[in-house]
Copies of this chain bind each other. A is one copy, B any other.
Amino acid sequence: MSDWRENIRHVKPYTPGEQPTGESIVKLNTNENPYPPAPEVEEALREAAQESGLLRKYPDPEAGELVRALAAFYGLSPDQVFVGVGSDDVLALSFLTFFHSFKPLLFPDITYSFYEVWARLFHIPFVKIPLDADFRLRKEDYFQENGGIIFPNPNAPTGIEESLADIEEILRRNPGSVVIVDEAYVDFGAKSAVELTRRYDNLLVVQTFSKSRSMAGVRIGFALGQPELIRALNDVKYSFNSYTMSRLAIKAGAAALKNRAYFEQTTGKIAADREKAKDRLRQLGFQCTDSRTNFLFVTHPAWEAAKLYEDLKRENIYVRYFRQPRIDNYLRITIGTGEEMEKLYRFLAAYKG
């Protein structure tokens, strides 16, 4: 007799970072922002509570209020903006939409580990391109035949930024592929490829409210690109779930975008703290990549990263460790508040390995 188990899709899902809860925990493992969202978000939620009767109605399927606010923020038109439930939702739908070829998708060997998960989920052929010995992306590697290209800039978990000139050359050499630049961490001092969307109709730039806008808990991501690309993505979205963005997310997201000063101030502070953290960790004997994000990627010549990760965890200090070739002696450490970072430094200063 047949069994329904034979007909289901078997996958090896992405493992998100641990989400421990508790007062005394120093949580430097999922690249959250140490500062609260802009005060306008609290205000928007108070209004939403007052108007809770409205929740009986479906949201605007186009999330127009949020799309228009993003378009205004980035100097684009609304038909150049797509929004989703965090950048993972935007990326998952982008994989489904744009990487529909028998030719392989290309991405770096050391990168956001969800890319491989999506490729397997949707049965997309892929080739992982090794970064060089310094964890840099070599543009020439992306001049080969492919069915799509994706990489983060700055890259994760290395934190390293590639130049817009290199990205532009990759775009120019690949008119037959959609190239996705995943800019989850771009707001902490790196250069965005958004300007290149004006000249390249095959470029999709993806960003998120989870890091630089302190709204990981609200789930908002977005993509910027030419109208034809955005339309194709929306068609697939409307074939998957017409109403992904709740009334609450639309309202809170649009509110956050009103305060550019707060955004610049908090991201600037984190970028400055990151540079200080590099100095402190180097003084403690670590090697750090030149991260342009809200995290550091570090290794210590005398200490085993896997053990340090466990020893930190026992002290309620959570960082991220990837049991993966080439980076299995590295730790990814989110830039937290001053107090959190001091706890980390104190522990490391006394650490014997």
Contact = CB atoms under 8 A, between A and B. Distances in A.
Q: Which of A9, A120, A210 has the most CB of B within 10 A?
A: A9
Interface string A26-47: 0100101111110001110110
A88 B85 CA distance: 14
This chain: copies in complex? 2
Interface residues of A, number: 93
Contact of A216 (B16, B55, B239): B55
B49 A42 contact: yes
Given A218-B248, A248-B248, A6 B55 contact: no
Nearest to A202: B4
A32 B56 contact: yes
Given A45-B45, A249-B246, A216 B57 contact: yes
Given A88-B242, A97-B8, A217 B49 contact: no
A76 interface: no
A316 interface: no
Given A6-B101, A19-B61, 5 more contacts: A7-B178, A16-B58, A36-B55, A46-B49, A85-B246
A242 to B, nearest CB: 4
Interface string A214-237: 111111000000001000101111
A98 B7 contact: yes
